[in-house]
Structure 1
């Protein structure tokens, strides 16, 4: 790792690092990755990292001045790993299809090896923005550009930059979200699961010859919502935005209050506890998702039409400036005391997506796919729409369906929709 990485590369004395120094530093990073993936940037402490290694906190500070520097080292290592996988994928074939499928296969094989103890785990990027370190942000943006290079379009008909951006965001988001559900499978099956994801990314969910269906976009907000009262809505929005940006621990009472420019006393006037507000944020997200599901199912049609309608409605909702949906990746840092119930609620949504996909396979509108994998990919696509404006600037709520939703249904490398 170079000196521009923002982390200490040499012992404090300035001498060249010894093998022992590098070994201990690597052990600290590995320990920090475990804490970072469980608690996020805000929740990780040097004390917890040190305790995993039977060290005192000062033993960690000898290598990293503070937890932000340590978190940066974790993220930089993860970015380096992804850059390696992307480089290997680029060398795997001459066309986009071969490169994209190779990238997904390589990632799932890496995760198999990591879960088997054959190589080190890496940090997940759920709340990398919470660190807000320029060197990490720059490296992450470069990684995104490298991933975008996997998607070029056919020779002589290169894909426009906005579409490559949207599809690269979709590809990476599917990979990042997979850590939340791949553990439902034995680690020996990770390559098999990766092949199934790769097939969906390459060929899409729609059956061959199935055209993009026509549907109306249901209204997902309700004036009679019991939480539609203005002050409650403000707290929901502030908490949801902070959790999406910085994880559960980043959305402290102090930070939520500061975002609204109110006192902690005002916070507790409207909310019993922070966890009560967090649960309310999740509850609002489920209600919006179920409204979309119920509306599409009530209108009827093929499985493809119902699912496309749900996805388009939710992505448009995300991008229209409404109260955002809570990113499901926030579950990774929520305390165990409330996590289990939240996971069950999201599983119910995922199971419904799988059921709709099964309906589509039965009626011939959806190609035969692994519905469990596909349902998680649908969730990831909806989830990642919250950041689509960052990585694909210029897309609007009205154009997102054509340039972001349809590639999951028609294939990541499908022609750009008009």
Structure 2
């Protein structure tokens, strides 16, 4: 009962946005009754992740029983999306979102991190083709990162569907992951984009934020919120990261909430500009490929990263809804590129919603750290015909 309530609250408000008192109130217990079972909030957080990992591991193990990688991926996605449908229908308990891992602190951080690493290795085995050469290790790691990121991002966009359609959505996502988007004639374009952008160096010099400005504060806040959670970052911490005073912060920002909204608008602008710049490409596949790769490139650049969607828990309910609404509109633009490609023949017949959400999960909300070049391999692998199967 306590774990169910805590997981639900953590999912809605983030780890730092929930207290033991909040959890107790949710289940009708005094705080000291909660601490009888979980001495500190960190212990409760660890227990929630332990349960989530256990559920996830069971799904992975069931899928791993199949001999070929294609079936394993399909079975895992179908069972995971069915789990999300059961949670939505109240038939299964809520589980914490793995995006909250970044803000796990204290003595539980190491065991929780170790458990996640073990889970990642099992997911990696799930997406490893039979007889895979060791030289393809980076590619297989990318698949595992992408599958995990996509599974967590699905919790944002799947509620747009009836729960009875979740498993069908899983099949459509699996189709794109396994076989890519590009029609045979566009395969070379995907490989060329991957080689061009993935080979460029990506640095983040400390001097990048040397000049105090509104942009510098938004960039610093985005990095800190992504790393520590929206409730784990204060005005003082943001200011200190720039060697600035609180007065300087309030000169450029009205308050923390206004700054979070501005960080989202900054990220939305980056996405819109990437989509607009790609709109003039000759076909739908190239439009999608260029826009997606530009967003991943931004994620790895000195100007990046994009703000994670989970930061909306630091906003009032109406503003948080507006953030999701804006992201849905942007994902529809990606879907329009996919439809363009199916019309002009550069993209094979796929579900445009599934394809656009894969682009969003890698270019926008990815679990991949902003200085990790594996994002390039993941996103370009998912939009070329040289995909998983």
TM, length-normalised to structure 2: 0.88
Q: How much has 1:98 moved relative to structure 2? A: 1.1
Candidates 17, 38, 44, aligned match of 1:43 = 17
Residue 266 of structure 2 corresponds to residue 266 of structure 1: no
CA distance in 2: counterparts of 1:329 and 1:212, whole angstroms: 36
Candidates 199, 215, 219, aligned match of 1:233 = 215
Q: How much has 1:331 moved relative to structure 2? A: 3.0
Asked whether the 8 Å contact 1:152–1:159 carries over to 2, the reply is no
- Kindly provide the CA deviation profile for residues 98-144 of structure 1, in whole angstroms up to 9, marking residues without a partner as x: 11111111101112222223221211112211113111011111111
Structure 1 unaligned regions, length at least 5: 1-26, 218-226
Residue 115 of structure 2 corresponds to residue 139 of structure 1: yes
Partner of 1:161: 137
Q: Root-mean-square deviation (CA), in Å?
A: 2.4
Equivalent residues in 2 for 1:359-370 (5 A)?
359-370=340-351
CA distance in 2: counterparts of 1:192 and 1:326, whole angstroms: 30
- Kindly provide the CA deviation profile for residues 69-113 of structure 1, in whole angstroms up to 9, marking residues without a partner as x: 11111111111111111111101x211111111111110111222
Which fold has the larger relative contact order, with Cα–Cα distance below 8 Å and residues 6 or more apart in sequence? 2
Asked whether the 8 Å contact 1:39–1:249 carries over to 2, the reply is no
Given the superposition, is the C-alpha separation of residues 58 and 156 from structure 1 closer, same or farther in structure 2, using an over 3 Å criterion?
closer
Residue 157 of structure 2 corresponds to residue 181 of structure 1: yes
Asked whether the 8 Å contact 2:275–2:291 carries over to 1, the reply is yes
Partner of 1:242: 224
Asked whether the 8 Å contact 1:101–1:198 carries over to 2, the reply is yes
Given the superposition, is the C-alpha separation of residues 411 and 135 from structure 1 closer, same or farther in structure 2, using an over 3 Å criterion?
farther
SS at match of 1:367: coil
CA distance in 1: counterparts of 2:92 and 2:386, whole angstroms: 30
Larger Rg: 1
How many residue pairs are counted as aligned between the two chains?
371
CA distance in 2: counterparts of 1:212 and 1:317, whole angstroms: 23
Partner of 1:53: 27
Q: How much has 1:159 moved relative to structure 2? A: 5.8
Structure 2 unaligned regions, length at least 5: 198-208
- Kindly provide the CA deviation profile for residues 366-404 of structure 1, in whole angstroms up to 9, marking residues without a partner as x: 1212212221111001125572567xx5x37xxx54x22
Partner of 2:177: 201
Candidates 249, 256, 264, aligned match of 1:282 = 264
Q: How much has 1:29 moved relative to structure 2? A: 0.7
Candidates 114, 130, 138, aligned match of 2:87 = 114
Asked whether the 8 Å contact 2:219–2:303 carries over to 1, the reply is no
Partner of 1:297: 279
CA distance in 2: counterparts of 1:169 and 1:84, whole angstroms: 18
Structure having the higher helix fraction is 2
SS at match of 1:141: helix
Q: How much has 1:158 moved relative to structure 2? A: 5.5
CA distance in 1: counterparts of 2:351 and 2:16, whole angstroms: 36
Partner of 2:167: 191
SS at match of 1:110: helix
Partner of 1:315: 296
Asked whether the 8 Å contact 2:260–2:315 carries over to 1, the reply is no
Partner of 1:19: none
Partner of 1:69: 43
- Kindly provide the CA deviation profile for residues 305-358 of structure 1, in whole angstroms up to 9, marking residues without a partner as x: 111011111111211232311123333553314212222221221111111111
CA distance in 2: counterparts of 1:345 and 1:331, whole angstroms: 12
CA distance in 1: counterparts of 2:25 and 2:380, whole angstroms: 47
Asked whether the 8 Å contact 1:206–1:366 carries over to 2, the reply is yes
Residue 117 of structure 2 corresponds to residue 149 of structure 1: no
Partner of 1:97: 70
